[in-house]
Amino acid sequence: MSTGELAEKSRYRNAVIAALLERDAAKDLRRINQRLLDYAHREPIQTQRAIDIEAPRYTLTEGQQVPEVHASEFEVNHLRAAMASRGCLIVRELFNSTTMTDYCRVIDLAMEPAKHSDTQEEHSARLATIFSNPPPQLASRLPEPNLSYARKFHRDGGSAMCVESASVSEHLLELYKSVGIKQLVTDYLGEAPCLSALKWVLRRPTLPINRNGWHQDGAFMGEGINSLNMWIAANRCGGESGAPGMDLLPQRLTEILGAGEGEAVFDWSVSDDAMTTSQSSHEITTPVFEAGDALFFDHFLLHRTQYGGDFIRPRYAIETWFFGSKNFPSNQIPLSW
């Protein structure tokens, strides 16, 4: 192997990618396909939502705008209280920072699978298999032209659906379970969780950032669902870090506000004017995140990718929407956990 080939191979070799290369891709494919099949004929049932459950009172630490807690102290009552008070919670160091930094390369490969499909080099060929391994049920649940539209929507915005790679999906579920996420989400939602194929994504937003990105996910998911989103930073971002984080309006909302009205760009987005004239008693804030920090929120939080023109680095993140296994939005292609 030439020096150039060795350099190319080592460029993509880290602990997470090594683990992915060692996985049984066929087994992962069968498992993620079955997860989708589990919801192929299931209809949602209205149940009590997490935000309807009485929550403890949350007191912000002086100087805080967004509630936060360290992972070593994190429990479901922190989440329930923060969500009831401000609609979101930051959990510091929830995931190992090195693991999340390694996921930056995973996200690069997921964004650009065609660049790593040289069948003359075993390593590149294996990477191509790992990152282009969608389950057959994805096409069944999202028949054309909808699947192509979904892929283009993600590609244009700088993201890729996790289920496009069965092994990435299964690796993430194992990682989540190892830090207690499955039990925590179950306790918070009050029912076993499912996930969303459309909204479980690897993110590397395209620069420059569109200023018109304010939205509530309930605008296209529906208001009555039982939801919780976990957004994980894979690199340092937000604030003045040089990479876009998240702009947040940390306020407990329980309805959809003016989606698609005025100068909104999309029928699910909220215009700057609507943001300015909303009856909010809280200021927009842009927290700084380190690799491994997680932001939790639900389908009512007003947020967008941090807007600005001075970003010098990309932002990497993993976003996972969880829903109640009974009370879920069927239009987001649920899958079992």
CA distances from 246 to 64, 148, 202, 300, 301 (A): 16, 27, 15, 15, 12
pTM of the model: 0.91
* pLDDT value at residue 69: 96
Cβ-based neighbours of 294, under 8 Å, separated by 6 or more: 90, 91, 94, 95, 230, 231, 232, 233
Yes or no: say if 313 and 256 are a contact pair by the CB < 8 Å rule.
no
pLDDT of residue 1: 39
Per-10-residue mean pLDDT of the chain, 337 residues long, equals: 40 86 95 98 95 89 89 96 96 98 96 55 73 94 96 94 97 98 98 98 93 90 96 97 96 79 52 62 89 98 92 97 97 97
Alpha carbon distance 15, 292 (integer Å): 16
Alpha-carbon span 194 to 156, nearest angstrom: 27
* CA 113 and chain centroid, separation: 20
**For position 6, what pLDDT does the model report?**
34
- Please classify residue 279 by burial: count the beta carbons closer than 10 Å to its beta carbon, then call 0-12 exposed, 13-18 middle and 19+ buried: exposed
pLDDT value, residue 310:
87
Q: Which residues contact 71 (CB under 8 A, 6 or more apart)?
A: 91, 92, 93, 94, 179
- Which amino acid, residue 175? L
